[in-house]
């Protein structure tokens, strides 16, 4: 089981307090994805720390970006790529996501690559078509994890039913043999029913990862479901 907390553009909880709280949780790989300003503090607190984005070049004139060697240099262990908010607000494409993932993996970072459909795409019956397109650009790797995040369930309070999540995860795994996390309004009260599904290998947690107790409760739910 893997539980990753995506703090987005929030300061997030105190890293040392969080590390202390998670010390008693076993059987779960816990990852935090703070904003760039929080990476060093999370690493120093002993948390497995991922960036929220990474560029495909090692260096260059790419204002606002960060490279895999830079992340490795401060002790980061991995990075998210292709989060729906990067796709929606910053024009990320499937090709760009593939390049970021490949470069990060080649450099030695772990990668969580995000995929998922919008509400309009789901209502049009295009979920599998969208997932196939997004997953097809990725290549299986020992350090690659996919996160299925239905865009209509991110920050909306809506959550895919366990059955809906299971169906999507099984489809993704039929395309690519890697662990698949569920992301989309994961909370302590729905974590167990999601993570007991046979093809759900953990969670990518947004808002609930900003508070120590709610995030710890999800990690404990994952441990119970493992």
Report pLDDT digits (tens) over 27-64: 999 999 999 999 999 999 999 999 999 999 999 999 99
Dist. CA 221–CA 107, nearest whole Å: 33
Residue 223, pLDDT score: 95
Predicted confidence band of residue 154 (pLDDT cuts 50, 70, 90): confident
d(CA 45, CA 73): 16
Read off the pLDDT band of 158 (50, 70, 90).
confident
The confidence score (pLDDT) of residue 209 equals 98
The pLDDT, as a whole number, for residue 54 is: 98
**If you write DSSP's letter for every residue of 12-74 in order, what string do you get?**
-S-HHHHHHHHTT--S-EEEEE--GGGHHHHHHTT-EEEES---SSSSSS-TT---HHHHHHT
Prediction pTM value: 0.96
Output the pLDDT for position 17. Answer: 98
Out of 83, 85, 92, 169, the active site residue is 83
Q: Is 149 a catalytic residue?
A: yes
Which residue of the set 85, 92, 117, 149 is catalytic?
Answer: 149
74-85 pLDDT, tens digit each: 999 999 999 999
Domain at 2-225, CATH homologous superfamily: Aldolase class I (3.20.20.70)
Q: Tens digits of per-residue pLDDT, 20-32?
A: 999 999 999 999 9
> Residue 111 pLDDT more than 90?
yes
Residue spans per domain, the chain: 2-225
Average pLDDT, the chain: 96
Q: Which DSSP string do the residues of the chain spell out, in sequence order?
A: -EEEEE-TTS--S-HHHHHHHHTT--S-EEEEE--GGGHHHHHHTT-EEEES---SSSSSS-TT---HHHHHHTT--EEEE--HHHHHHH---HHHHHHHHHHHHHHT-EEEEEE---HHHHHTT-HHHHHHHHHHT----TTEEEEE--GGGSSSS----HHHHHHHHHHHHHH--S-EEEESS--HHHHHHHHTSTT--EEEESGGGGSHHHHHHHHHHHHHH-
Percent of the chain's residues with pLDDT above 70: 100
């Amino acid at each position: 089981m893997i539980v990753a907390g995506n703090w987005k553009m929030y300061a997030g909880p105190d890293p040392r307090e969080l590390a202390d709280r998670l010390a008693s949780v076993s059987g779960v790989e816990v990852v935090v994805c703070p904003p760039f300003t929080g990476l060093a503090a999370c690493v120093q607190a002993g948390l497995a720390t991922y960036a929220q984005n990474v560029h495909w070049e090692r260096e260059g004139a790419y204002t606002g970006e960060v490279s895999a060697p830079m992340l490795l240099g401060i002790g980061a262990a991995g990075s998210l790529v292709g989060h729906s908010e990067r796709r929606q607000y910053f024009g990320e494409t499937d090709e760009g996501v593939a390049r970021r993932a490949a470069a990060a993996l080649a450099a030695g970072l772990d990668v969580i690559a995000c995929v998922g459909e919008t509400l309009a795409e789901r209502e049009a019956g295009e979920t599998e078509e969208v997932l196939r397109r997004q997953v097809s650009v990725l290549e299986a790797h020992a350090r690659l994890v996919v996160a299925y995040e239905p865009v209509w369930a991110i920050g909306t309070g809506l959550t895919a039913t366990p059955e809906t999540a299971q169906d999507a995860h099984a489809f993704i795994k039929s395309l690519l043999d890697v662990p698949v996390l569920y992301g989309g309004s994961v909370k302590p009260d729905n974590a167990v029913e999601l993570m007991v599904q046979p093809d759900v290998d953990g969670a990518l947690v947004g808002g609930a990862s900003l508070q120590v107790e709610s995030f710890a409760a999800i990690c404990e739910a994952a441990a119970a479901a493992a």
